[in-house]
Amino acid sequence: MIRLYINHEEDEKDLFQEILFQAWKSFPNFDGRSKFSTWLYRLSLNTVLTFKRRPVKVEARENLESLNHSEKIEKDESEALYYAIRQLNEVDKMIITLHLDGYENEEIAEISGLTKNNTAVKLHRIKDGLIKTLKAM
């Protein structure tokens, strides 16, 4: 999940540690109403989204802006997929990430707050969009 939201090795390491800390700190509040994996995923996603809201240093922002499109996309297919997923809005990114992590539509619906049918429709559209994006690269 971290690689889909963060594209800098040091930030990935920091975020991984932050997720572990948040899970350790929050575990006493786990009440078992959902699967542990669902609870942990939701906690991780919230931690990632909070992490992304922190201010970006001007130097880092300038470096990112100076990269051209071809430099951002690796030729490796998995990197291209990561890149395409990073371009999605937050909800679509969450849905496809959950799907790729093996969650069923019912679990994705529970985590996202969508209905099972809406989840299935959105997932289908996301996949179609990713295929088109990858073919265009």
Q: Looking at the structure, do residues 49 and 108 belong to the same domain, yes or no?
A: no
pLDDT digits (tens, 9 = 90+) for 12-33: 888 899 999 999 999 998 888 8
Phi (first) and psi of residue 67, to 5 degrees? -75, 135
Q: Looking at the structure, do residues 48 and 89 belong to the same domain, yes or no?
A: no
pLDDT digits (tens, 9 = 90+) for 78-87: 788 888 888 8
Phi (first) and psi of residue 58, to 5 degrees? -55, -40
Q: Looking at the structure, do residues 85 and 134 belong to the same domain, yes or no?
A: yes
Q: Among 66, 85, 103, which residue terminates a domain?
A: 66
Confidence of residue 58 (pLDDT cuts 50, 70, 90): very low
Q: Looking at the structure, do residues 9 and 42 belong to the same domain, yes or no?
A: yes
Average the pLDDT over each of 30-34, 58-62, 65-69, 97-101 and give the range with the smallest value.
58-62
What amino acid is encoded at 130 in this protein?
A: L
Domain count across the chain: 2
The answer to whether 130 and 96 have CB atoms below 8 angstroms apart is yes
Phi (first) and psi of residue 75, to 5 degrees? -70, -25
Contacts of 19 (CB under 8 A, 6+ apart): 2, 43, 44, 47, 48
Q: Looking at the structure, do residues 32 and 82 belong to the same domain, yes or no?
A: no
Q: Among 24, 50, 66, which residue terminates a domain?
A: 66
What amino acid is encoded at 70 in this protein?
A: S
SS (H, E, C) 36-101: HHHHHHHHHHHHHHHHHCCCCCHHHHHHHHHCCHHHHCCCCHHHHHHHHHHCCCHHHHHHHHHHHC
Instruction: Specify the CATH number for the domain of residue 9.
Output: 1.10.1740.10
- 3-class DSSP assignment, residue 35: coil
Q: Looking at the structure, do residues 4 and 47 belong to the same domain, yes or no?
A: yes
Inform me whether the pLDDT recorded for 59 exceeds 90. no
pTM: 0.58
Domain with 92, as residue range(s), is 73-137
Q: Looking at the structure, do residues 106 and 125 belong to the same domain, yes or no?
A: yes
pLDDT of residue 75: 52
Q: Among 13, 36, 66, which residue terminates a domain?
A: 66
